[in-house]
Amino acid sequence: MNDADVTLDARGLSCPMPILRTKQALAKMTSGQTLHVIATDPGSMKDFDAFCRATGNVLQQSRAEQGEFHYVLRKA
Amino acid sequence: MSTKKVAIIASRGTLDWAYPPFILASTAGALGYDVKMFFTFYGLELIKRDLDLKFSSLGNPAVPMPFPVPTFAQSLPGVQKLMAAALKQKIKKKNVASIETLRQLCLEAGVELIGCQMTIDLFDYQRSDFMDDVTIGGAATFLAYAADTDINLFI
C-alpha cells in the first residue's frame, strides 16, 4: 500500500500540526519524491487539498480509511 | 505567482486568544506565505520570553462549562485559576499544540514577530522581557508592510 519515499505519522495531532509537520517533512525531501501522511484530524482532508493548491505540491492520493486519512504528496 | 503576504495584529494576551494568531501565522508560513505579526497591548504577553498565559471566564460568557456556574461564583478566589488549569488540561488531552510549540514553528517558518514600541513603554516592559527573535517597531512599521499584503487580520 505504501511505496512512498517518506512516511509521516501525524495521527492524533490537531489542526494545524499535520500541515506544519508535512511542511517540515517536505523541506527535507527533494523534488519529485513522495510523502505519505497519515492523519486522524477530520479537518485535514480540506486542509491538505488547500495546502497543495497553495504550495504547488501535487496531492496524488487523498482517502479516508477506518477513521484515518491518508495523503500522498509529490514534492514540486 | 508572487508570494502572498499576511499581516496579523495580535492584541489579546490570554491563552484562548493566543491560538488564532499563532495557528494562522504558522500555517501561512507552511503555505509559503510571507508573514509578519504585530503584537500590541495585551498581545505583548504572547512574545514574552517566559509565557505565563492566563485565562478567564469572567466577561466571557461563551466559555463552555460542564454545568452552569453563576457569575458571582466564577469570581470567587481561585476559581479562575481552576478554569485556566481545566483549559490547559483539555488542550493537552486533545493533543492540541501548545502556544510555545506554535510560536517556535512560526519562527522556524520565518514569521517575523514585532512588538509594539509604544505599549512596551506604556507598560514599563524591558526589551529583555521579550524573546531575542522579536523585533520592535511602531505603527508605521506595521502599516508600511500591511499596505502591500493580501491578508490583513486584527485579532
Q: Does B155 touch chain A (CB under 8 A)?
A: no
pLDDT tens column, B135-145: 999 999 999 99
A15 flagged as catalytic? yes
pLDDT tens column, B24-69: 999 999 999 999 999 999 999 999 999 999 999 999 999 998 889 8
**Boundaries of every domain in chain B:** 5-54+98-154
Query: What are B118's three cell numbers?
Result: 509604544
Q: Which residues contact A17 (CB under 8 A, 6 or more apart)?
A: A10, A41, B97
CB A37 within 8 A of CB A48: yes
CA dihedral B108, B34, A55, A23 (to 10 degrees): 10
Specify the pLDDT at position B9. Answer: 98
Band of pLDDT at residue B2, cut at 50, 70 and 90:
confident
B65 vs B149, residue with greater confidence: B149
- Give yes or no for residue B88 having a pLDDT over 80: yes
* Confidence check on the interface: ipTM exceeds 0.90, yes or no: no
**Boundaries of every domain in chain A:** 6-74
Phi, psi (deg, nearest 5) at residue B70: -60, 150
Query: What kind of fold does domain B5-54+98-154 have according to CATH?
Result: Hypothetical Protein Ychn; Chain: A, (3.40.1260)
CATH 3.30.110.40 fits domain A6-74: yes
Sheet holding A6-10, edge to edge: A6-10, A34-39, A68-74, A58-65
Which chain A residues are closer than 8 Å to B29 by Cβ?
23
In sequence order, the β-bridge partners of residue A74 are A34, A58
Minimal CA separation from B123 to chain A, in Å: 32
Helix (H, G, I), strand (E, B) or coil at B34: strand
Q: Does B32 touch chain A (CB under 8 A)?
A: yes
Share of chain B above pLDDT 70, in %: 99
